[in-house]
A and B are shown apart, each in its own frame.
Chain A
Amino acid sequence: MLDLQVIWFLLIGVLLAGYAILDGFDLGVGIQHLFIARNDRERRVLLNSIGPVWDGNEVWLLTAGGAIFAAFPKVYATVFSGFYLALMLLLVALVLRAVSLEFRSKVESTTWRGAWDAAFAFGSFLPALLFGVAVGNVLRGVPISNDGEFAGSFIGLLNPFSLVVGLLSTAMFVTQGSSWLSFKTEGELRARSVSVGRKAWLAFLALWIVATIYSRFEAPHLWTNYANALTWIAPVAFVIFALAYPFVKGVKSFAISSLAIIALVGIMGQALFPNMVPSFGGLANSLTIRNASSTPLTLKVMLTIALAGVPVVLAYTIWIYRKFMDPVVLDEHSY
Chain B
Amino acid sequence: MDVVWLARVQFAMTIMFHFLFPPITMGLALLITAIETARWRTGKDLYRRMSDFWLKIFAVNFVVGVASGIVMEFQFGTNWASYSRFVGDIFGAPLAAEGVIAFFLESGFLGLLLFGRNKISSFVRWLAATMVWLGSTLSAFWIIVANSWMQTPAGYRVVGGRAELTDFWAAVFNPSTLPRYTHTIASAWVCGAFLMTAVAAWYFLKHRGSDVARASLKLGLIAALVSTILVFATGDRHAKQVARTQPAKFAAMEGLYSTAHGAPLILFSLPPSQQGRRDAPELMITNLTSFLAFGNFQAPVKGLEEFPEDQWPPVAATFLSFHNMVILGNLMLLAAIAGLVQLLRKRLEKSRFLLRALFWIGLVVPTLAIQLGWMAAEAGRQPWIVYGLMRTKDGVSKIVIAPEVLTSIVIFGVIYALLGALWIYLLRKEIIHGPEGVAIVDDSVEETPRPLETAPVY
Contacts and interface: CB of A to CB of B under 8 A. Distances in A.
From DSSP, what is the main secondary structure of chain B's interface residues? Answer: helix
Contacts of A224: none
B82 interface: yes
Interface string B54-66: 0000011001101
Contacts of B85: 73-74, 77, 148
B405 to A, nearest CB: 8
Interface stretch (A86-94, A160-168, A174-182, A213-221): A86-94
A264 interface: no
Given A63-B100, A65-B73, A52 B115 contact: yes
B187 to A, nearest CB: 24
Contacts of A105: 457-458
Given A59-B103, A302-B93, A334-B458, A295 B111 contact: no
A3 interface: no
Given A58-B70, A94-B67, A88 B76 contact: no
A108 B71 CA distance: 30
Contacts of A302: 93, 96
B115 A48 contact: yes
Contacts of A77: 77, 81-82, 84-85, 88, 397
Contact of A91 (B63, B74, B93, B117): B74
Interface in A88-121: 88, 91-92, 94-96, 98-99, 101-103, 105-108
Contact of B63 (A78, A98, A294): A98
Given A69-B95, A99-B419, A331 B118 contact: yes
Contacts of B168: 297, 301
Given A84-B404, A149-B399, A320 B78 contact: no
Contacts of A80: 74, 76-78, 81, 84
Contact of A298 (B79, B111, B165, B419): B165
Given A106-B429, A106-B457, A81 B400 contact: yes
Interface size class of B (residues with CB under 8 A): 35 or more
B115 A298 contact: no
Residue in A71, A73, A92 whose Cβ sees the most chain B Cβ within 10 Å: A73
Given A67-B96, A309-B101, A53 B165 contact: no
Given A73-B85, A76-B77, A295 B108 contact: no
Nearest to A321: B108
A320 B422 contact: no
Interface stretch (A31-39, A248-256, A277-285, A310-318): A310-318
Nearest to B401: A84
A301 B399 contact: no
Contacts of A78: 81
Contacts of B455: 108
A102 B59 contact: yes
A324 interface: yes
A333 B118 contact: yes
B42 interface: no
A91 B116 contact: no
Contacts of B116: 52, 320, 323-324
Nearest to B454: A108
A30 interface: no
Given A48-B115, A62-B103, A73-B89, A316 B429 contact: no
Nearest to B167: A297
13 contacts: A53-B111, A55-B107, A56-B107, A65-B77, A66-B96, A73-B92, A80-B77, A91-B74, A98-B63, A151-B399, A298-B90, A302-B96, A306-B100
The 5 A-B residue pairs with the shortest CB-CB distance in the complex, in nearest-first order: A73-B88, A80-B77, A70-B92, A63-B99, A69-B92
Interface of B: 59-60, 63-64, 66-68, 70-71, 73-74, 76-79, 81-82, 84-85, 87-93, 95-101, 103-105, 107-112, 114-120, 162, 164-166, 168, 397-400, 404, 407-408, 411-412, 415, 419, 422, 426, 429-430, 454-458
Given A76-B92, A95-B419, A320-B116, 17 more contacts: A63-B100, A70-B88, A84-B400, A84-B404, A85-B408, A88-B412, A95-B68, A99-B67, A309-B100, A313-B104, A313-B108, A316-B108, A317-B104, A323-B116, A324-B111, A332-B456, A333-B114
